Structure 1
Amino acid sequence: MSQPPRPALILGSSSPYRRELLERLRIPFAVAVPDIDETPLAGESPEATALRLSRAKAQEIAGRHPGALVIGSDQVATLDGAQIGKPGSHEKALAQLQRMRGRTVTFHSALCLLDGRTGEAQLADVQTRATFRDLPDHELEAYLRLERPYDVAGSAKSEGLGIALLSHMESDDPTALVGLPLIALTTMLRQAGYPLFQH
């Protein structure tokens, strides 16, 4: 019995690391870069920010690609309940890492799968608790010069050299910290009737 054709699948992200993760599933997809304001709202919880932005990214892309399944994702790092954003500069990145050393940071990796055929959105927030090593300033400086992680939440690019900053990690999904929780995503794709094991 022949299966119906798969709907178009679009990853709404500029991240090469999310693209590499999605490629693990060996399914066809396109990439589109969302154009949204990522500023947190006043009084918004970290989880709410991540979920809102993941949905907003998916909606913005879905508006350009009617009928497609769109993946939106966002990540917010938190320490003591306060959001830690993308540093944007060497100085801010160093200050972030100094604040986090020896501490446990919670990363909220939010995911939205928006079905453009029905308008249904599935949402998940996969949390990772990452404990940072208590490293001296000269090692943090060296890491920053080598990795230049100024565009990632918390300056900790775990898919690269940033993994050496961590001493311990707890999560239900090993891919969540990189920014695209594949266990949650494959659950959502199944729910949307997307065949994962089709040649």
Structure 2
Amino acid sequence: MNIKYLTLPLIAATLVFTGCASRKPAAEITTGNTPNGSTTVSTEGLSEDAALNAQNLAGASSKGVTAANKAFLAKRVVHFDYDSSDLSNEDYQTLQAHAQFLVANANSKVALTGHTDERGTREYNMALGERRAKAVESFLITNGVNPQQLEAVSYGKEAPVNTGHNEAAWKENRRVEINYEAVPPLLK
């Protein structure tokens, strides 16, 4: 038997076992309270991403959350008409609630991701997705949000939520998602 046919599986097995042996076991997320009443999170043993997510969830804020705007803050998607970056009247209350929360929570950060349906070229859709994200960003800034809290990004047609090829699917995909990256609203 030829030695090169034995070497490749041996190297692959060594890499797999070495990688598994160096992984940390799953860590438990524990929380506690400080004397001033704020919540602390132990992220010992967590990966960097998992630690950031645990801190963000523990750092959720109820400041700026009212009974009146709670339902609007729960909505994290704004939809658009075909080939448009104009905000609809239905979305103003949602965006106003997010603006109010962001103004009250200066440590909150949001990524505004613009999306389009599958029709049109990749380049056109990337530009349209950016116009949509910038329209939401502009509304939030006009309503008092610090621009440093916002990041507008376009995914164009690359990340559909509905992979159908009809008007209902396209309508769902024409959107901007409001993704809290730090200090999301506490909606309990």
* TM-score computed with the length of structure 1 as normaliser: 0.30
* TM-score computed with the length of structure 2 as normaliser: 0.31
Higher helix share: 2
Q: Which has the larger radius of gyration?
A: 2
Q: Which has the higher contact order (CA 8 A, sep 6+)?
A: 2
Higher strand share: 1
